[in-house]
Structure 1
Amino acid sequence: MIWDAGIGDRLGVARLQPTARALVWLTFSLALACESGGAPGGFEDDLGADSDALPPDLPQAECDPRRSGDCEAGQKCSHVTDTPFGPTNRCVELLGEGVAGDSCERVGDSDTCANHHLCWATDPDGLDGVCISFCSPGLACGGSGEVCSVATGGLLSLCLTKCDPFFQDCAEGWGCYADDYGVWTCDKDQSGDAGAHGDACACINCCNPGLTCVPGALVDAEGCGVEGAAGCCTEICDLDDEAPPEMVCPTEAERCRAFYDAGAVLMGYERVGLCEL
């Protein structure tokens, strides 16, 4: 199988993590930070007006959840998103024994899943999640129909169910979404009351099943684009659709454009396209 390592950069988005907070585009976050001007008591206050110093280094992962032995007894390595500078992997207290498919809940930075597992797809209160296993060090999965889905710059690698973006063959309340490397897996639909074509979005799974989140400038809808939402939902389309090109997508201005770059197509997904300007 071949996949495009630049798919995540093209979409510019990340999956919504298992906490209530979404990981928004890095560029979008930086834009907001620039507009804020810095909070009192922050890094800026330690610098003189003419200082050329750089901000502190972003947190480095202290462990790898795919390996054993990185953490002390009574701990496990987990993916943590509620940190001041973004997601990372670190050792947390081992609180449960839940394995893949078991129900779970998040407890602070930890959860009730066993070692090498993460409580995924929780509600905003950290409840009603499901234990998902991390991939092996070789990015392999042992479950039937599972594939290793890698996101967040390689920090997060989970064994999720492989799916078809056309059939949307995932459990109720879940949708088929692509990860940073263009691999399609089932993940919880986090769109809430939004998620339709042209709705603003801040993560790949913040759109209804059958749609995905792309830069707003690529979507023909009011409120999207340079002066609107940084990201908007658009429909997944079939490159082999026999309808006239102007009839395939929700608006006549959009066209069904290939999801993968030429020569970097995931086998079996050659027909996948996105409705874009």
Structure 2
Amino acid sequence: MRGSAFFGRPALSLLTMSLIACGPPALGPGDSDDGHETSSTTVTPDLPSTDTEADTEADTADDEDEAGFVPDYARPVPPCDPFEQDCPEGEKCVAYAAGQWWDSNKCVPVLGSQAVGEPCTYGGPEEATDNCDATSGCWNVEEIEGEWSGTCHAFCTGSDDDPMCAEGSQCLISSDPVVVFCIPTCDPLVQDCDEGLGCYWASNDFSCILTQDDIPAGQACGYINDCSPGLICVDGLALPSCEDAACCTPYCELMAGDAQCDAIPGTSCLPFFEQGLELPGYELVGLCIVDEP
């Protein structure tokens, strides 16, 4: 796996570095980040009662609480470490939606034996169970007619400061960290990912991620995987006609000229990386943007 240093150039600083969208909009990180609503459950306490029978029942409930009987909704979910995988035998540490979009970790039972790269079924962001084996979890998931499915991805090993994955993949880390999956790296000019996935810049490398909305060039985007494969979500200031905070624009090959940028008139094929900081093998990767945004 490549190191954790962030490579960039002035153009790269214009990328929309928002969260990866891997589910329905309702599972987004909340109105403060992306305008999507986030549902939650609120437990409303009982109002005081003057009824003797009701008071007696309340007193009994208090006695049960003191004896160690706590309502299910109040039971905290024990945390776990996705790098350490420190759950009891027969369980694994996965990301789940405690209140927002994959914002916490918990132990869930290992329910299957699907290996890395094989298709998987998923219990949804709140339940977060799957039929992957103990060393992997279901990711790049999508919901179709109420059924969740995805592909088994290996958990990263090491630590947040020094994540490790097998050759040909990088550790996707998000939410401090909650999601820690090894995802395949790819070539943005070739778009050599499996069907339904695009080659997007994530963390510190190009990686195969589920395409969320298939947005065409020049149209508004919010997540790094909103755009169609072969496109990237950049700050609107990097494009001459983007009327939104960010829009999709094509990748291009530096040696092939500006004709690759005809989809966004007024742009040129400029280097993705700052000179001297190119990732090995990606020296010719460019973006269709304005010369001086």
- What's the TM-score, normalizing by structure 1? 0.71
The letter for the 1-side match of 2:106 is: C
Counterpart among 19, 24, 29 of residue 20 in structure 1: 24
Distance in structure 2 (CA, Å) of the matches to 1:31 and 1:153: 16
Deviation digits for residues 132-169 of structure 1 (CA, Å, limit 9, x no counterpart):
11222153333xx6311324256233222221111111
Q: What SS does the aligned partner of 1:150 have? A: strand
Counterpart among 273, 277, 283 of residue 260 in structure 1: 273
Give the Å deviation of 1:186. 1.6
Corresponding position: 1:162 with 2:185:
yes
Q: Computing the radius of gyration over CA atoms, which structure comes out larger, 1 or 2?
A: 2
Counterpart among 98, 108, 122 of residue 141 in structure 2: 122
Counterpart among 191, 216, 220 of residue 200 in structure 1: 220
Aligned counterpart, 1:173: 196
Aligned counterpart, 2:232: 212
Distance in structure 2 (CA, Å) of the matches to 1:121 and 1:217: 30
Counterpart contact for 1:238–1:272, Cα < 8 Å = yes
Counterpart among 244, 247, 257 of residue 242 in structure 1: 257
Aligned counterpart, 2:84: 67
The letter for the 2-side match of 1:100 is: V
Counterpart contact for 1:257–1:273, Cα < 8 Å = yes
CA 105–210 in structure 1, closer or farther in 2 if over 3 Å, else same = same
Counterpart among 179, 187, 190 of residue 209 in structure 2: 187
Give the Å deviation of 1:21. 4.2
CA 255–149 in structure 1, closer or farther in 2 if over 3 Å, else same = farther
Counterpart among 282, 286, 289 of residue 269 in structure 1: 282
Distance in structure 1 (CA, Å) of the matches to 2:34 and 2:139: 29
Counterpart among 11, 26, 29 of residue 32 in structure 2: 29
Give the Å deviation of 1:205. 1.6
CA 271–29 in structure 1, closer or farther in 2 if over 3 Å, else same = farther
- What's the TM-score, normalizing by structure 2? 0.68
Distance in structure 2 (CA, Å) of the matches to 1:23 and 1:219: 29
Give the Å deviation of 1:30. 4.5
Percent of aligned positions with the same letter in both sequences? 29
Give the Å deviation of 1:4. 2.1
Give the Å deviation of 1:126. 4.7
Distance in structure 2 (CA, Å) of the matches to 1:110 and 1:118: 9
Distance in structure 1 (CA, Å) of the matches to 2:33 and 2:148: 31
The letter for the 1-side match of 2:91 is: Q
Distance in structure 2 (CA, Å) of the matches to 1:9 and 1:126: 36
Counterpart contact for 1:63–1:91, Cα < 8 Å = yes
Q: What SS does the aligned partner of 1:84 have? A: coil
Count of aligned residue pairs for this structure pair: 239
Q: What SS does the aligned partner of 2:225 have? A: helix
Deviation digits for residues 72-104 of structure 1 (CA, Å, limit 9, x no counterpart):
344321122x34354334113223332212221
The letter for the 2-side match of 1:169 is: D
The letter for the 2-side match of 1:141 is: C
Unaligned runs of 5+ in 2: 43-77
The letter for the 2-side match of 1:257 is: L
Distance in structure 2 (CA, Å) of the matches to 1:148 and 1:256: 27
Counterpart contact for 1:176–1:185, Cα < 8 Å = yes
Unaligned runs of 5+ in 1: 42-60
Counterpart among 222, 232, 235 of residue 247 in structure 2: 232
Distance in structure 2 (CA, Å) of the matches to 1:231 and 1:151: 23
The letter for the 2-side match of 1:66 is: F
Aligned counterpart, 2:103: 88
CA 204–109 in structure 1, closer or farther in 2 if over 3 Å, else same = same
Counterpart contact for 2:231–2:251, Cα < 8 Å = yes
CA 255–242 in structure 1, closer or farther in 2 if over 3 Å, else same = closer
Distance in structure 2 (CA, Å) of the matches to 1:200 and 1:272: 22
Give the Å deviation of 1:216. 2.9
